Structure 1
Amino acid sequence: MDKMEDLARRDLAHIWHPCSQMKDYETLRPIVVDHAEGPYLYAADGTKYLDIISSWWCNLLGHCNPKINAAIKKQLDELEHVIFVNFTHEPAIKLCEELAQVLPPGLTKFNFADNGSASVEIALKIAFQYQLQTGHGEKQRFMCLSEGYHGETIGALSVGSMDLFAQMYKPMMMNNIHVQAPDCYRCPFNKNREHCQCECFKFAEEAFAQHARETAAIIVEPIVQGCAGMRIYPPLYLKKLRALCDAYGVLLIADEIATGFGRTGKMFACQHAGVTPDIMCISKALTGGYLPMSIVCTTDKIYDAFYDDYNKGKAFMHSHTYAGNPIGCAAALAVLQIMKEENILANAAVKAKYFNAALNEAFGQHKNIGEIRHIGLINAMELVTDKNKKTGFDGQLRIGYEIYKKALTHGLLLRPLGNVIYFNPPLNIADEDLAKAVALAKQSVDEILG
């Protein structure tokens, strides 16, 4: 038995993989990664895979980036971890100072956790407690957008609208208010995202008119609804939402876990609309995909509502063992330094134009590609059976999975969102690797769909 098969066998003896039907592994064995570099993963059998989805969107600057490696190695010899209650350390202090310079203005206070779902839970609890402590105890519910995704802990599921993840757990979940989200590809008003006034915003206005009095906050993925299939909506929607929240005293929570750190062409997606949320969640690319870390960013106004004598009971009593982990902070600081020193955003903007043009040339006329939508280096192709009617592969939810499996045989890592094929590469990927990804994706799609 060779090394690859031996390790796969041992894996399946014990490991329950995330977001998987393990029975599928009977025919598609787990791929054992031996090492990685840049946008490539190298399996134990020597096969090379182009990771065009940044390993679930978090690998921002390539695998085993030497500058991030060096920062982590240095930090290991100084401090690996310390309780973050009444203790602190320079990497966390510096990271907060650096983030305050690049976040939307006004976000100045930072609460640390270890993953995206945990940051959403913290954001919801902060919003709830803030309303209570500022005299609005009636505001105990949350609004969210349909097709939204904010993680898979119970609170995060409760403010999501993806039944694939949440349906069976609904008896455990909070009763929240779900607002019909923008769907620019299948717009009910027959508009398009480049030329509209966000007529779909009427659904948010109706929800606020009916429920704002009982609503503590609304949580949204700004500009891009990732898990819904990289659904992209106009910045105007976010501007209108900010104004609506202000008018009704509802807090705006921006989930930038997937959209932050240049993924959409701006450092943060909220900056496309020029708005500052009351609370922002960041994770994934925060540490370049190296270490689990998340941060909840908020304003002085929110922070001050928790500031009082301890016996007044206003403290935010939420803790996490690995909050402010020094190694994670060192990685995050290295990410910010690389982005600044290597002019990553400007270079990525050039690559984004090249990549989208290449995808349109390869797939623009394909009979089963309804739309190629993009923002920054994020690109998504909607698979349809009829381009004119925009009908999807109803009842054939595994077409995307079949394309995924085919792409693996050609050395390309795709991970479709249902029947949406998407690309979300490292921001510093080379043009030749983008071209390779397009060619391999075209080969894979053609072999499955013709």
Structure 2
Amino acid sequence: MAQRSRAVVWHPCTQMKDHESLPLVPIRRAEGAWLEDFEGKRYLDAVSSWWTNIFGHCHPHIVGQLKQQLDTLDHIMLGGFTHEPVVELSERLVKLAPPGLTRCFYGDNGSSAVEIALKMSFHYWQNAGKPGKQRFIALTGGYHGETLGALAVGGPSMYRDTYAPLLLQPIHVPSPDCYERGAGASWEDHTRQMFRHMELALEQHAHETCAVILEPLVQCAGGMRMYHPLYLTMLREACDRHGVHLIADEIAVGFGRTGRLFACDWAPAPRRDPDAQPGITPDFMCLSKGLTGGTLPLAVTLTRESIYEAFYAEYNAGRAFLHSHSFTGNPLGCRAALATLDLFEETRALATNHLLSQYMWAQTAEIRGHRHVAEVRQQGMILAIELAKKGRKENPFPAAERRGLRVYQHGLEKGVLLRPLGNVIYFMPPYVIEPKEIELMCKTALEGIDLATRG
């Protein structure tokens, strides 16, 4: 199977030459938190298959709902037509989302959700008579996808530098990444200090800026960089002051991953209004990955009624948002998403995740004391381990040494799927993981770190 795949499949985010010495892993079936190859070997999916499979593989409720839907309606174009799953899903998402997000526009994947938000924000300002607003502000280290618009507002150079001549030119602001805080500085102090860069960028560029885009709380593909939720509160207030949209990319962090349903819900109430409810409402919120429980590709961009109304006009006015995908709002994807929302209600997933995340932290005690670990950080069901020589963050292991790859290889040998980001080993397991499986995951990671940091 691996040989056949190498002969015809170009695998994503991969240097294919690596597979001359690092075999592909053919998977035959999956159930719960486990994958199984064609030889019967099982692998604990510690990364939820690229952060998508939040309730485990082949969950019977999701599978059952999909089978029923497949007997009724497989697909219908959403241009000029509608159907029950997309209407019901939109109604439920609007009720769950931060207040004020009333409209749902569907895409196929996370990158398309971001493209929709970028285009919609730009187009809004054109319709509003402010054609000079054509740029975006983004954080260094952020990641928003691989299509050209999403790639442009991303930060990591390994993804974007090759394509730089093709990309928009955003204004990049230093990330509030708390791994970079000074000695003795608290997360909150560091956040306030780093927000000055954002405030300055808005003061200088608001007149030409459509929106600020960021991943709330955790910059995932950029190395699981985490920051204080105060940044979200300060940014919402600043965007309002300067007349700039706020795009929250919750593709990886949404649907319970950070400990609340959406990462935006963590934002503290502003000091001037301490009685206000916590949480912020962005102007656009992008969702995908866990939306369908990791079963089918689907994405949605939620936005405000005032933005929707800026496009609502007679046809000849030329104000329509003429963006579409062939499988926009596919009934099967929507049905899987509805089944996933059912599970949040029926399983008390957020409460369970709180206990699981505490256990995960407790099981990393030995890792936290490892001489080549600079930091272990956690936000809900995301835990990241930063490797550095002698635990000093100013001395990261050279990228060319590929220490993380050694941890990955050890994990495969021991039956645990770990897919590090450079020198960052991370856990993003499905919410159905058991305590004994957390123990295996942490034990295997520790062994892998020991092996990878020798010499």
Q: What is the TM-score of this pair, normalised by structure 2? A: 0.95
Q: List per-residue Cα deviations over 1:355-375 (Å, max 9, x = no partner).
A: 11111x221110111111001
Q: Does 1:109 find its partner at 2:113?
A: no
Q: Does 1:156 find its partner at 2:161?
A: no
Q: Corresponding residue for 1:425?
A: 429
Q: Corresponding residue for 1:3?
A: none
After the TM superposition, which residues 42-53 of structure 1 pair with which residues of structure 2 at under 5 Å, given as runs? Answer: 42-53=36-47
Shift of 1:185: 1.2
Find runs of 4+ consecutive structure 1 residues off by over 3 angstroms: 194-197
Q: Which amino acid aligns with 2:372?
A: N
Q: Which moved more, 1:210-219 or 1:394-403?
A: 394-403
Aligned length: 443
Residue of 212, 218, 221 corresponding to 1:218: 212
Q: Corresponding residue for 2:450?
A: 446
Q: What is the TM-score of this pair, normalised by structure 1? A: 0.96
Residue of 361, 370, 384 corresponding to 2:388: 384
Q: Which amino acid aligns with 2:256?
A: G
Shift of 1:389: 5.1
Q: Corresponding residue for 1:145?
A: 139
| Residue 319 to residue 55, structure 1, CA distance change in 2 (3 Å) | same
Shift of 1:183: 2.0
Alignment gaps of 5+ in structure 1 = 1-6
Q: Corresponding residue for 1:290?
A: 295
Q: Which amino acid aligns with 1:415?
A: R
Shift of 1:161: 0.9
Shift of 1:348: 0.8
Q: Corresponding residue for 2:324?
A: 319
Q: Corresponding residue for 2:362?
A: 357
Counterparts of 1:305 and 1:23 in 2: how far apart (Å)? 50
Counterparts of 1:183 and 1:433 in 2: how far apart (Å)? 30
Counterparts of 2:16 and 2:190 in 1: how far apart (Å)? 44
Q: Corresponding residue for 1:267?
A: 261
Residue of 176, 188, 194 corresponding to 2:170: 176
Q: List per-residue Cα deviations over 1:93-134 (Å, max 9, x = no partner).
A: 110111112111111100001011111111100000101111
The percentage of aligned residue pairs carrying the same residue is: 47
* C-alpha contact (below 8 Å) 1:148/1:160 kept by paired residues: yes
Tell me how large the CA RMSD over aligned residues is: 1.2
Residue of 419, 432, 441 corresponding to 1:437: 441
* C-alpha contact (below 8 Å) 1:370/1:390 kept by paired residues: no
Counterparts of 2:344 and 2:393 in 1: how far apart (Å)? 42
The secondary structure found in structure 1 opposite 2:440 is helix
The secondary structure found in structure 2 opposite 1:185 is helix
Shift of 1:189: 8.1
Q: Which amino acid aligns with 1:307?
A: Y
Residue of 10, 19, 25 corresponding to 1:16: 10
Residue of 332, 337, 342 corresponding to 1:332: 337
Q: Which amino acid aligns with 2:429?
A: P
Counterparts of 2:419 and 2:343 in 1: how far apart (Å)? 27
| Residue 284 to residue 219, structure 1, CA distance change in 2 (3 Å) | same
Counterparts of 1:73 and 1:362 in 2: how far apart (Å)? 45
Q: List per-residue Cα deviations over 1:39-59 (Å, max 9, x = no partner).
A: 100001111100000000000
Shift of 1:388: 4.2
Counterparts of 2:240 and 2:49 in 1: how far apart (Å)? 37
Q: List per-residue Cα deviations over 1:42-80 (Å, max 9, x = no partner).
A: 001111100000000000100010110001000000000
